[in-house]
């Protein structure tokens, strides 16, 4: 009897996957509009909506490093109609930094598929007298506590990435958290803060217009969008932060449904127009299987837990 029940249940899930979607899905974004997470969501969801033949609602739930949106998704029904644009902040760093993020990053999340990766870019306001990472370090050391940096929120890569930079270089820079990288980047251009090491999509337009100055990228390799901008690690050996974006759902989603959505996500991300739009803002498409994504996140959770512990950053 038990075998028959399981077979019947599997048949139901398969049928649901085949008829998905029967209504418009929703994607939560854990940051304010205009940032890297938001841009990735809108570019990817545009193609998914085309493939699915139905609109996709994008809803912003900013705050707490993206964990508010992640928690809302984790508490939703695992029926494929509620997603979150998961990222290094909400699903890599936040679970170790926040005492109670509202979800278990492995048990309460279904990792459907990776979308892409991007560097963080180290950028300064043009008034800062530094045109290289080395010059900035020297200037910051000569002015301890007088410079400030903006982040997209406590527990994001734009926060921990600078704290890692501070730990490795010995500089003292004051943290000013925002509810998204679009806001911190706008204040950098306006001179309210002097530094960001933020998701590249949030800085591309500012750098190209001369409103901010790029000094380095956080990945081991230089970014193709700015090949003349060195990696921070060329000055600070061992420094590396990679930002990633993916599509996640609540824990407990049926395998057939996950496989169906993953297949459509891969089609969307690898479509030429999507690849071009992502690349234009500095995101390298890296689609894969749910299993590959889950294993990748396990590694990220371990990595950032160690960084937080070694840096002595207190839990929020």
Q: What is the pLDDT of residues 55-102, one digit of tens each?
A: 999 999 999 999 999 999 999 999 999 999 999 999 999 999 998 999
Cα–Cα distance, 131 to 286 (Å, whole number): 32
Among the ranges given (35-49, 260-274, 295-309), the one the predictor scored with the smallest mean pLDDT: 295-309
So what's the pLDDT on residue 5? 41
Q: What is the pLDDT of residues 99-132, one digit of tens each?
A: 899 999 999 999 999 999 999 999 999 999 999 9
So what's the pLDDT on residue 250? 98
Q: Indicate yes or no: pTM above 0.85.
A: yes
Cα–Cα distance, 44 to 85 (Å, whole number): 10
Distances (CA, A) of 199 to 71, 170, 283, 305: 22, 23, 9, 21
Q: Tell me: pLDDT of 49 over 90.
A: yes
Among the ranges given (3-7, 11-15, 212-216), the one the predictor scored with the smallest mean pLDDT: 3-7
- Look over the chain and give the mean of its residue pLDDT values, rounded to a whole number: 93
Q: Using an 8 Å Cβ cutoff, are 31 and 179 in contact?
A: yes
Cβ-Cβ contacts under 8 Å for 6 (sequence gap 6 or more) = none
Cα–Cα distance, 114 to 283 (Å, whole number): 12
So what's the pLDDT on residue 114? 98
So what's the pLDDT on residue 88? 95
Domains in the chain (CATH in brackets) are 2-117+242-311 (3.40.190.150), 119-234 (3.40.190.10)
Q: How confident is the model at residue 310 (pLDDT cuts 50, 70, 90)?
A: confident
**129-136: average pLDDT:** 98
- Cβ-in-10-Å burial (0-12, 13-18, 19+) of 154 comes to buried
Question: Is 186 or 154 the better-scoring residue by pLDDT?
Answer: 186
Q: How confident is the model at residue 2 (pLDDT cuts 50, 70, 90)?
A: low
């Amino acid at each position: 009897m038990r075998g028959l029940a399981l077979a019947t249940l599997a048949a139901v899930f398969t049928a649901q996957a085949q008829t998905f979607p029967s209504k418009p899905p929703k994607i939560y974004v854990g940051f304010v509009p205009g940032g890297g997470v938001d841009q990735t969501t809108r570019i990817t969801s545009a193609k998914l909506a085309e493939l699915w033949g139905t609109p996709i609602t994008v809803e912003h739930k900013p705050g707490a490093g993206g964990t508010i949106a992640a928690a809302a998704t984790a508490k939703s029904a695992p029926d494929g109609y509620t997603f979150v644009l998961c990222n290094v902040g909400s699903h890599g760093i936040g679970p170790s930094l926040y005492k109670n993020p509202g979800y278990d990053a492995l048990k309460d999340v279904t990792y459907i598929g990776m979308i892409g990766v991007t560097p963080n870019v180290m950028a300064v306001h043009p008034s800062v007298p530094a045109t290289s990472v080395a010059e900035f370090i020297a200037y910051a050391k000569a002015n301890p506590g007088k410079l400030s940096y903006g982040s997209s929120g406590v527990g994001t890569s734009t926060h921990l990435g600078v704290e890692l930079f501070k730990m490795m270089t010995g500089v003292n820079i004051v943290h000013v958290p925002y509810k998204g990288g679009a806001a911190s980047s706008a204040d950098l251009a306006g001179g309210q803060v002097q530094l960001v090491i933020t998701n590249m999509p949030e800085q591309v337009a500012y750098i190209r217009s001369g409103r901010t100055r790029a000094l380095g990228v956080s990945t081991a390799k230089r970014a193709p969008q700015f090949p003349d901008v060195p990696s921070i690690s060329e000055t600070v050996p061992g420094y590396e932060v990679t930002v990633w974006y993916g599509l996640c759902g609540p824990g407990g989603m049926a395998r057939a449904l996950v496989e169906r959505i993953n297949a459509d996500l891969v089609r969307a991300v690898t479509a030429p127009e999507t690849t071009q739009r992502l690349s234009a803002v500095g995101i390298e498409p890296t689609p894969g299987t749910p299993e590959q994504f889950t294993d990748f996140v396990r590694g990220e959770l371990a990595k950032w837990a160690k960084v937080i512990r070694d840096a002595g950053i207190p839990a929020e």
